[in-house]
Amino acid sequence: MLVHSSASFKVETKKILMRFSYKFALLSTIYMLVSCNSESHLDLSSFDIDSSAKKTDVIYGFIITNDHNPLDVPETFLKIQSLSAKLINQHWLENPNFMIQVTDLKVLLKSTNIVEANTYITALEIAQNRYLKNMIAVRSQARLMQRDFDNTLNNYDQTIQALTHELTLLETPEKTYRNNIDNLVHDIKYATDKYSKLSNEFNKSLTKIINEDIEDTSDLYDLKFSFVEGPHTLCSRYKGMNELLNKVLENCVYINKEEILSGFNKEDRTDVSNIINNYAPQLWHQMTSLNGFFDTSNNVQYFEDSLRQRLSTVRKDLRDKQNIQNRDIAMLVENYQTQISLLENQRQNILDNPLLTHDQKIDINQTSFVQNFQRLQTDMKNPIKPFAQKFHDPNLSNTFIQAYVKKTIQCYPSELMFTVSHTGAFSLPFSYKTQELLFDFHHNQQYLAFQGILTTSFPVVIKAGDSNVILRRGKSLTEKLDGRLREQWSKV
């Protein structure tokens, strides 16, 4: 009896499991069929849409993401508007980036690939040509003004320097000058001895390796220097036959190295070159600190702060001091001080001129220069004016914006667009799960916003009156975008 009951239970259990498996398979099949039918529906009958238009006009749907929204003003359009504003709202001469901004704006307009942009591009090319022509006159005027300022300041500096020197003579005791002379004479003797010692060491070093076959060595050690004033980084390697002395980093100093090397055998030239490289910089520095350097080819004396030049100046100052000993020194001091103070104030007034920068240079981008230049050049054409006129022309801007809106909608990412059939059916791309859609009823001047989770696995029916459905009447989606672009354009 127990065995029979156990067998009967197994049979019943098997039947139950088979029935459950069948129902589960049936439910799975139904679910798969429903899932495969991924079409959602837009209940067109619940919206105020012309019935004839339903069958003839395409209704487009747009998926909104964090990066894409058909109602957002495009980034390129914002850049076009922003650059246009900078060019139009600022005086062209006060804008140091004028040419860069014009070029960038042309590139942006060309990138739209809109025929209606060509009018603005042509106007910007006119702006570039005018600007380049204008800047020739601007820089010429700036050079003249700079020269006048430099000459005036130089005259003040020389006059103040001369009066200050006279004042120093009056206020400095004669004993101070005599002490300075004694000190300089001592320094010159020391520097002369040091230079002679360096020169002898140089000659002896060369003598040690000289070829015994050379009989005449009178010109062999004649180290000659030449000089070019300017930054060492811009020095050329050679000046004529002379070679740059690289170890002297102030200005450009050259020596007749090849001429000296040519008097030695080839196997000795490396050693000779090393000797020259070692002694030449030392000899140059010692020579210039002692005597300065006189360029015979240009008759110019360099390094006027040399010891001998300073000694000459102090001796002259002593003679001048002795010549004014019998004059009313107190009255002269007061007179010089008054003159110097007056001149310094006048000089400072010039430096305070708004045309000058802190380094005493004319800044052509400053408002003060622009105003001054405009008074002098009344017939100069504003380079950006043709573009500004076209920018504010309502007919031109209307056609450009309309074309831009059309292009923007057409270029919306295809994977984020879909169409709605005349029955209201539509499907989303399989890979998207969205929380917001836009439907454009262009023929009825309205668009619909749907906010809610929507995937291919859970199709929905969207109808008027739903809490997550917003119907915007009076303008289609393209008209709404058109209005936003016009609003942005009008801010310039």
Query: What percent of the chain clears pLDDT 70, i.e. is strictly above it?
Result: 86
Confidence (pLDDT) at 5: 42
Is the pLDDT reported for residue 127 higher than 50? Answer: yes
Using alpha carbons, list the distances in angstroms from residue 329 to 234, 335, 337, 374, 451: 50, 10, 12, 52, 96
Is the pLDDT reported for residue 404 higher than 90? Answer: yes
Confidence (pLDDT) at 37: 47
Do residues 446 and 438 make contact, with C-beta atoms less than 8 angstroms apart? no
For the segment 461-488, the average pLDDT, to the nearest whole number, is 91
Is the pLDDT reported for residue 9 higher than 50? Answer: no
Between 23 and 383, name the one with better pLDDT: 383
Amino acid (one-letter) located at 257: K
Confidence (pLDDT) at 297: 84
Is the pLDDT reported for residue 211 higher than 60? Answer: no
Between 33 and 439, name the one with better pLDDT: 439
How many CA atoms lie within 13 Å of 224's alpha carbon, on the beta-carbon side?
Answer: 15
Query: What percent of the chain clears pLDDT 90, i.e. is strictly above it?
Result: 58
Split at pLDDT 50, 70, 90, the class of 455 is low
State pLDDT tens for residues 43-58: 988 887 654 445 557 8
State pLDDT tens for residues 155-170: 999 999 999 999 999 8
Is the pLDDT reported for residue 28 higher than 80? Answer: no
What's the rounded Cα separation, in Å, for the pair 171 and 57?
Answer: 101
Confidence (pLDDT) at 180: 96
What's the rounded Cα separation, in Å, for the pair 429 and 422?
Answer: 19
Confidence (pLDDT) at 23: 42
Sign of the dihedral through C-alpha 240, 243, 246, 250: negative
For the segment 260-272, the average pLDDT, to the nearest whole number, is 89
Is the pLDDT reported for residue 65 higher than 50? Answer: yes
Confidence (pLDDT) at 22: 44
Do residues 448 and 438 make contact, with C-beta atoms less than 8 angstroms apart? yes
Site of tokens 């980084």: 233
The rounded mean pLDDT for the chain is 86
